[in-house]
Chain A
């Protein structure tokens, strides 16, 4: 807990927390504005109203989440490298893996906050705009969890990459390349492509049904744990130089 509090104090003036906070606000605002503007078009689609609500608006929200996660992960480690502060951390009686894990927790909690805000906006649209009986709260909760779980491999991967490069442009470039390659590969059927964390993140965005895919969810959890494990192992095993 003390380590988490120390990490939070370090984040002051870095913009890590405001970035993911803004992503949540922007995502929620986008959902409202998009639905208001495209209401007729969306409701005329040959899909279940809940599928329309959750999948047709998620594409842009997912892009916002993705770039929010990429930028926040880059920033959370850039402040360690900027004034060589990470060297001081290696010279203090602090567990480097704990420091890594605290950063992971901060990003995860902030992402959860953003996803909750975005899905609360979707729920509000459903409650207010949908005909009586068409809105299903359980579907919103399930899709919220599903979109959060499928974003986690990208978060875990980006934190790992950001922790290994002093130059922030490298992880940022990896994030952009991941997004572009993910876009190109997301529609492919091959299950093997799910090893790509960005492909996993894009899965709910290209689906026509809001029903969570169990395989995608399981692979997401495994990848998140794997990238986190590698990050913790590197933090423990690798020296500063």
Chain B
């Protein structure tokens, strides 16, 4: 299967630390790729680089065969995104916020109602976005990403701030998206339990380095080979992170 997102040795260095270190990932077209890692692992920074919010220090990436920065507009036209906290105009209603995005993307008016419906915000569409609860803001951000059914979705912890039923609802929605309109989803989370319910492939990131990339089946095989418990994938993930942290400590001592 063709890869729609590929990164090659992607690196982001700040003054005193490396947020993303030589990361090469491969996201298959039409798949859900779960990007896992503890807080501060570099998931959001990687996603920000893919969207041009921050420049890579080294390495490069392609999205649907296009390169940044020369193809910036073409990439963003086919990518729906939601990074970290929701972004919205506080002075506008939810519906007006989506209408701004709709006009930028040159979509029909019906796209706004469709997106509101999809995330369950229809009845709150005329409320000012600043008066939304955290969960509603999260849904609004997601609606903005889904507007116009983009072929690529980059979602950074989209279930943050949602209640359990909201998490369940959004998880099912994300899971259904590739089937609904043949899109590719690149989604991050720090919870493997959440990702394993929807992802086809996963990448595990710790301290900016990619520890693993492959299918859930490959992850189990990898865990067996390394002597980790494989009955629960959450334990596999935690064991991998712990082992990597211990190795790092050891290297630092030496």
Contacts and interface: CB of A to CB of B under 8 A. Distances in A.
A239 B54 contact: yes
Given A10-B92, A12-B92, A241-B53, A83 B101 contact: no
A91 B90 contact: no
B89 A239 contact: no
A87 B145 CA distance: 13
B113 interface: no
A239 B55 contact: yes
A93 interface: yes
Given A14-B91, A87-B83, A94 B53 contact: no
Interface string A86-99: 11101111110000
Contacts of A241: 48, 53-54
Interface in B56-90: 72-74, 76-77, 79, 81, 83, 85-90
B91 A91 contact: no
A6 interface: yes
A88 B216 CA distance: 32
Given A6-B100, A91-B76, A91-B81, A83 B54 contact: no
A14 B101 CA distance: 18
Contact of B85 (A14, A82, A84, A240): A84
Interface string A203-241: 000000000000000000000000000000000000111
Interface in B79-133: 79, 81, 83, 85-92, 96, 99-101, 103-105, 129-130
A239 B51 CA distance: 10
A2 interface: yes
Contact of B91 (A5, A13, A86): A13
Contacts of A91: 51-53, 76, 79, 81, 83, 87
A79 interface: yes
A12 B89 CA distance: 10
Contacts of A79: 89-91
A221 B53 CA distance: 34
Given A90-B53, A239-B54, A241-B48, A9 B87 contact: no
Contact of A83 (B52, B74, B90): B90
A93 B130 contact: no
B37 interface: no
B151 interface: no
B160 to A, nearest CB: 14
A83 B130 contact: yes
A87 B89 CA distance: 11
Contacts of B91: 12-14, 79, 82
A177 interface: no
A93 B103 contact: no
Contacts of A36: none
Contact of B105 (A13, A87, A92, A240): A92
B144 interface: yes
Contacts of B90: 79, 82-83, 85
Contacts of A5: 103
Given A6-B103, A85-B87, A94-B104, A239 B92 contact: no
A240 B77 CA distance: 18
A87 B54 contact: no
Interface in A39-83: 79, 82-83
Interface string A143-161: 0000000000000000000
A219 B26 CA distance: 55
A13 B48 contact: no
9 contacts: A5-B103, A10-B89, A82-B91, A83-B86, A91-B51, A91-B79, A91-B87, A92-B101, A95-B73
Given A9-B99, A91-B79, A240-B52, 6 more contacts: A2-B103, A85-B88, A86-B87, A88-B87, A90-B51, A93-B76
Interface of A: 2, 5-6, 9-10, 12-14, 79, 82-88, 90-95, 239-241
Interface of B: 48, 51-55, 72-74, 76-77, 79, 81, 83, 85-92, 96, 99-101, 103-105, 129-130, 144
